[in-house]
């Protein structure tokens, strides 16, 4: 960046090419936006999730599968943490078996979410 200076009313001012000014201005705005997002997230203890995961839930995907994959937990690891068999977890995730409220609570605890987050969605809303 080529910088020139000029004195205007006893103040030294910088003159930069407009494209350099625009790049600096955009970078400053990006930094301000990032700081606002950081402060917003720090002000709440709620977890945010990417829109793609919300879309998966809205299309009726099993929330246990969605959260398990989002957390990076294998089916075997989740089954072991919950104290159920791999086959029982597979049946729950496929919708072929329901589970007791206690098992659902243990699944939620293992995935670090609320029971409501992993409860099956009865009538998902279609996406536009």
pLDDT tens sequence across 3-48: 789 999 999 999 988 898 899 999 999 999 888 878 877 777 677 7
Do the Cβ atoms of 71 and 111 come closer than 8 Å?
A: yes
Q: Judging by DSSP bridges, how do beta strands 4-8 and 11-15 pair with one another? A: antiparallel
Which range of residues forms the domain containing residue 31?
A: 4-42
Percentage above 70 pLDDT, the chain: 93
Confirm whether pTM is higher than 0.75. no
Q: How many residues does the chain have?
A: 128
Q: Domain of 109: which CATH number?
A: 1.10.260.40
Q: Which residues does residue 8 pair with via DSSP β-bridges, in sequence order?
A: 11
Q: What is the pLDDT of residue 66?
A: 94
Number of domains in the chain: 2
Do 113 and 81 belong together in one domain? yes
Do 56 and 107 belong together in one domain? yes
Chain mean position to CA 35: 17
Looking at the domain assignment, is residue 82 inside a domain? Answer: yes
Do 66 and 88 belong together in one domain? yes
**What would the pLDDT profile of 70-97 be if each residue is shown by its tens digit?**
999 999 999 999 999 999 999 999 988 8
Q: What is the pLDDT of residue 72?
A: 96
What rounded mean pLDDT belongs to the chain? 88
Do the Cβ atoms of 2 and 17 come closer than 8 Å?
A: yes
Do 55 and 114 belong together in one domain? yes
Q: Which 3 state secondary structure label does DSSP give 7? A: strand
Q: Where are the alpha helices (DSSP H) in 45-100?
A: 51-58, 63-71, 75-82, 86-94
Q: What is the pLDDT of residue 109?
A: 97
Q: Rounded to an integer, what distance in angstroms lies between the CA atom of residue 67 and that of residue 73?
A: 9
Do 26 and 78 belong together in one domain? no
Largest CA distance in the chain: 80
Looking at the domain assignment, is residue 98 inside a domain? Answer: yes
Looking at the domain assignment, is residue 126 inside a domain? Answer: no
Q: Which 3 state secondary structure label does DSSP give 114? A: coil
Looking at the domain assignment, is residue 128 inside a domain? Answer: no
């Amino acid at each position: 960046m080529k910088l020139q200076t000029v004195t205007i009313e006893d103040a030294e001012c910088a003159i930069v090419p407009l494209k350099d000014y625009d790049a600096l201005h955009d970078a400053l705005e990006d930094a301000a936006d990032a700081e606002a997002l950081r402060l917003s997230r720090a002000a709440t203890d709620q977890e945010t999730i990417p829109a793609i995961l919300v879309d998966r839930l809205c299309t009726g995907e099993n929330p246990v599968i969605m959260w398990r994959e989002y957390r990076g937990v294998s089916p075997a690891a989740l089954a072991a943490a919950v104290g159920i068999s791999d086959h029982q977890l597979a049946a729950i995730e496929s919708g072929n078996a329901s589970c007791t409220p206690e098992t659902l609570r243990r699944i939620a605890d293992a995935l670090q979410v609320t029971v409501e987050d992993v409860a099956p969605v009865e009538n998902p809303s279609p996406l536009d």
